[in-house]
Amino acid sequence: MVEFQVSIADPKEGKSFQTKVEGHHANSLIGKSISDEVDGIFVGLPGYKLRITGGSDSDGFPMKKGMPIPGRKKIIGKKGVGFKSNPKEVKLKKTLRGSRISTDISQVNMKVVEHGPKKVSELLQEDKGED
């Protein structure tokens, strides 16, 4: 069974929230790419629209926008996701994950695009109370 740790950033409140997504909601996220918009019902936020901004796999390799593969690939680059700036601007070879969500992904980062009737903090605290 697929399970994702989802980090949701809410620019309106200026906070981020973490929640777990599993079962058929997690399966509906498979195949989505970075910058795709999804319905908030998949992460327990009915009435919300969320944009996928990134993620990482279980080994910590980050997802990179513009790589349409679901697996890992070694690329050469200078800046961006997965690269630390170097004063000499030396190109580095790094292993990065593609922009599509697959079963190997363990964390998905999302950002709220459209808000619903209730606050995010209220909806996600209700879920924690049920555990």
Fill in the DSSP letter of residue 98.
Answer: -
What is the predicted pLDDT for the residue at 120?
A: 87
Per-residue model confidence as pLDDT tens digits over 48-78 = 999 999 999 989 999 988 888 878 888 887 7
> Are 81 and 96 within 8 A, CB to CB?
yes
Q: What is the pTM of this model?
A: 0.84
Low-confidence ranges of the chain (pLDDT < 50): 129, 131
What is the predicted pLDDT for the residue at 122?
A: 85
What phi, psi does 123 have (nearest 5°)? -70, -40
What is the predicted pLDDT for the residue at 126?
A: 57
Alpha carbons within 13 A on the beta-carbon side of 10: 18
What is the predicted pLDDT for the residue at 131?
A: 44
